Structure 1
Amino acid sequence: MLATMERVNILQTADSLAEMVLQSEAGENYLLTLYKMKNDREAQQKIRKFASLKELYEEAQRFGKYHPDYKRVNLEIREVKREMDLHPSIAEFKRAETEIQGILDEISMKVGHAVSQHIKVPAGNPFFESLSSCGGGCGSGGSCGCSA
């Protein structure tokens, strides 16, 4: 791939857009809540506990109900995840993360559709999926019923 001036300009514009997102109220809130969560010892302890239990959970899932600790691990991981998700700094971070993801999804949709209405833009937000004929969820336009 050759680095033409046009590509360089597009990349510089993308960097500027990213900087604007980070400097927005939502971006600053995201960075602040990330900092708070990373510096919250209790939150980090809950995250580590969940991560270590997740490894055991994935092992139990490989064998399914035949794993000797299947029920215990499934119950325990749900409890630990709920405890982690309800911790104030983690919950606040997740809300900020969802807000910034919404902004990024909207930017993706606008950029993609500025090029063509037929561009498939991946977005985890069902709001954006309902706005396009395909929703970005299919790969070939076959079984999903879109008109791409």
Structure 2
Amino acid sequence: MFATLDTINVLEHAEKLGKYISQSDIAHYYQECKNKLQQDKEIQTRIQEFQKLKEHYEEVQRFGKYHPNYSEVSTKVRVLKRELDLNETIANFKKAEKELEMLLNEISGIVAHSVSSSIKVPTGNPFFDNRSCSGGCGSGGSCGCK
């Protein structure tokens, strides 16, 4: 790739945009939640416990309901997952992570569509996106897409 003045200009703007994003309130809140999560020893222990249990669950899943510990392990995994999901620190982290992801998706959409309106930008799982479809959903336009 040859470095042209345009290329250098674009890279400088991209670097500035990255700095703006990392200095945003959303990014600061995400970092704060991430630090709280990483520093909470009890939660980290529970997460490690869940990861070990999940590995055991995957091993049990190979045999399905025919494994002697199938229902016990399945129940333990669901209970511990629910416990972790209801933890306030983890819930705050997941919320902050989702907000940052939405910001980055929105920015990538703006950048892509400033180049061309026909550029498709993946925004994650469209089932969970609370925006209207931007095309290609296969519903025949009933969702309002073009």
Which residue in 2 is equivalent to 1:119? 119
**1:87-139 deviation digits (Å, cap 9, x = unpaired):** 221111111111111111111211222222221211125234x341126xxxx
Which residue in 2 is equivalent to 1:134? 136
State how 1:1-148 maps to structure 2 within 5 Å. 1-124=1-124, 125-128=128-131, 130-134=132-136
Distance 2:130 2:3 in 1: 36
Provide the alpha-carbon RMSD of the alignment: 2.4
62-71 vs 48-57, greater mean Cα deviation: 62-71
Cα distance, 1:66 vs structure 2? 2.8
8 Å Cα contact 1:120/1:134 also seen in 2: no
91-100 vs 55-64, greater mean Cα deviation: 55-64
> Structure 1 or 2: larger helix share?
1
**1:21-62 deviation digits (Å, cap 9, x = unpaired):** 121111111111111111011111111111111111222233
Note the residue ranges of structure 1 that are not aligned, 5 or more in a row: 136-142
TM-score of the aligned structures, taking structure 2 as reference length = 0.81
Cα 1:133–1:79, aligned 2, differ >3 Å: closer, same or farther? Answer: same
Distance 1:13 1:104 in 2: 16
25-34 vs 112-121, greater mean Cα deviation: 112-121
Cα distance, 1:144 vs structure 2? 7.5
Identity over aligned pairs, percent: 44
Aligned residues: 140
Max radius of gyration: which structure?
2
Note the residue ranges of structure 2 that are not aligned, 5 or more in a row: none
Distance 1:86 1:144 in 2: 35
Distance 2:119 2:97 in 1: 25
TM-score of the aligned structures, taking structure 1 as reference length = 0.80
